[in-house]
Amino acid sequence: MTAEGSYHDDGHRVTVTYREGELSGLGNAKTTIFFQKSDPHTVTMTRDGAVRTALLFEEGKRHICIYKTPLMPFEVAVKTRRVENTLSENGKLRLDYTVEIKGADPERTELTLSLLPDIRKPLSSS
C-alpha cells in the first residue's frame, strides 16, 4: 500500500502521519507513528477515525492496548519481537510483532514502512 503522508523531526521526536486506504480495512483512519530519537526501539502507533487505538511496540516486551471500533472496544496484547528503526537516517521502519485477541490464535504481523520523497516538490539546490 502507498499513502501520502507527512514526516516531522524536531531533533528530539520523529513523527510520521498518513491516512489509511480502504484496502487496509481501517477506512480513512489517520495513523501516526512516533518515537523519541533517544529511544528509537520504542515506537508508538495511534489511529484515529472509525477505529481508534494506541499501540506500543517495544522490542521483547508485551503491552496491552485497547482498540475502539464502532461496535465495541476490545483489548489486544501486542508482543514485539523486533524493531528495526532507521526512519531518521534512511526512512525505514520494520516492526515484527504478534497480536493476541482473547479467544483467538495469536497473529504474527510485520509492518514495513519506507518513506519516499514527494516527487511533485522540486529538489533543493545545494
Q: How far is CA 83 from CA 10, 44, 47, 72, 87, in A?
A: 21, 11, 19, 30, 11
Give 84 or 122, the one with higher predicted confidence.
84
DSSP state of 32: E
What is the mean predicted confidence (pLDDT) over 69-74? 88
Considering the four listed CATH numbers 3.40.1360.10, 2.40.128.20, 1.25.10.10, 2.60.40.10, the one that applies to the domain covering 5-114 is 2.40.128.20
Q: For residue range 74-111, list pLDDT tens digits in order.
A: 899 999 999 999 999 999 999 999 999 887 889 999 99
Q: For residue range 17-57, list pLDDT tens digits in order.
A: 988 766 555 567 899 999 999 999 999 999 998 889 999 99
Residue 94: exposure state from Cβ atoms within 10 A (0-12, 13-18, ≥19): middle
Residues near 52 by beta carbon (within 8 Å), at least 6 away in sequence? 29, 67, 68
pTM attached to this predicted model: 0.84
